[in-house]
Amino acid sequence: MPHDPYRALYVHLPFCVKRCAYCDFATAAVPTDAPEIDAYVEDLCLQIRRKAKEGELGSVETVYLGGGTPSHLGLSRLSMLLYTLSLSMRLEPDVECTMEANPESLTERMVRDIWALGVNRLSIGVQSFDDEVLRTLGRAHSAGDARRAIEAAMTRFDNVSVDLMCGIPGQSEESFEAGVREAVALGAAHVSVYPLIVEPHTPFDAAVLAGEMDEPDDDVEASHMEIAARVLGEAGFERYEVASYARPGFQCRHNVAYWTGVPYLGLGRSAATMTQNAERRMRVKDGAVTDDLDARQMAAEDLMLGMRMTRGVSDERVERAAELLPRASETLADLEDRGLVVHEGGRWRPTERGWLCGNELYGDLFDLAP
152 & 72 share domain: yes
Q: Is 23 left (phi over 0), alpha (psi -120 to 50) or beta?
A: beta
Average pLDDT value for the chain: 95
- d(CA 320, CA 316) in angstroms, rounded, equals 6
192 & 336 share domain: no
- d(CA 58, CA 5) in angstroms, rounded, equals 8
CB atoms within 10 A of CB 40: 21
229 & 340 share domain: no
245 & 320 share domain: no
Which residue, 219, 236, 257, sits at the end of a domain? Answer: 257
Q: Kindly state whether residue 287 falls inside one of the protein's structural domains.
A: no
227 & 319 share domain: no
3-class DSSP state of 283: strand
Task: With a cut of 90, say whether residue 63 has pLDDT above it.
Answer: yes
Domain CATH for 45 = 3.80.30.20
Task: State residue 208's pLDDT score.
Answer: 86
- d(CA 10, CA 266) in angstroms, rounded, equals 5
Q: Which of 338, 331, 330, 340 is nearest to 364 (CA)?
A: 331
Q: Kindly state whether residue 274 falls inside one of the protein's structural domains.
A: no
Show the domain range for 70: 8-257
3-class DSSP state of 211: coil
Which residue, 257, 272, 294, sits at the end of a domain? Answer: 257
**pLDDT of 148-196, one tens digit each?**
999 999 999 999 999 999 999 889 999 999 999 999 999 999 999 999 9
Task: State residue 312's pLDDT score.
Answer: 96
Q: Kindly state whether residue 97 falls inside one of the protein's structural domains.
A: yes
237 & 315 share domain: no
Total domains in the chain come to 2
DSSP 74-133: -HHHHHHHHHHHHHHS---TTSEEEEEE-GGG--HHHHHHHHHTT--EEEEEEE-S-HHH
213 & 342 share domain: no
CB 116 within 8 A of CB 79: no
Confidence of residue 215 (pLDDT cuts 50, 70, 90): confident
State what percent of residues in the chain have pLDDT above 70.
100
Length of the chain: 370
Which residue, 215, 242, 257, sits at the end of a domain? Answer: 257
Quote the radius of gyration of the chain (alpha carbons, Å). Answer: 21
- Phi, psi dihedral angles at 325 (to 5 degrees): -125, 90
220 & 363 share domain: no
Task: With a cut of 90, say whether residue 356 has pLDDT above it.
Answer: no
Q: Kindly state whether residue 339 falls inside one of the protein's structural domains.
A: yes
CB 83 within 8 A of CB 117: yes
Q: Kindly state whether residue 298 falls inside one of the protein's structural domains.
A: no
Q: Kindly state whether residue 96 falls inside one of the protein's structural domains.
A: yes
Q: Kindly state whether residue 262 falls inside one of the protein's structural domains.
A: no
* Mean pLDDT (whole number) for 25-53: 94
Q: Which of 138, 139, 161, 134 is nearest to 150 (CA)?
A: 161
CB within 8 Å of 245: residues ≥ 6 apart: 190, 191, 192, 193, 228, 229, 232, 237, 238, 239
Q: Is 71 left (phi over 0), alpha (psi -120 to 50) or beta?
A: alpha
User: pTM of this prediction?
Assistant: 0.95
Q: Kindly state whether residue 190 falls inside one of the protein's structural domains.
A: yes
70 & 170 share domain: yes
219 & 335 share domain: no
245 & 353 share domain: no
364 & 235 share domain: no
**pLDDT of 93-116, one tens digit each?**
999 999 999 999 999 999 999 999
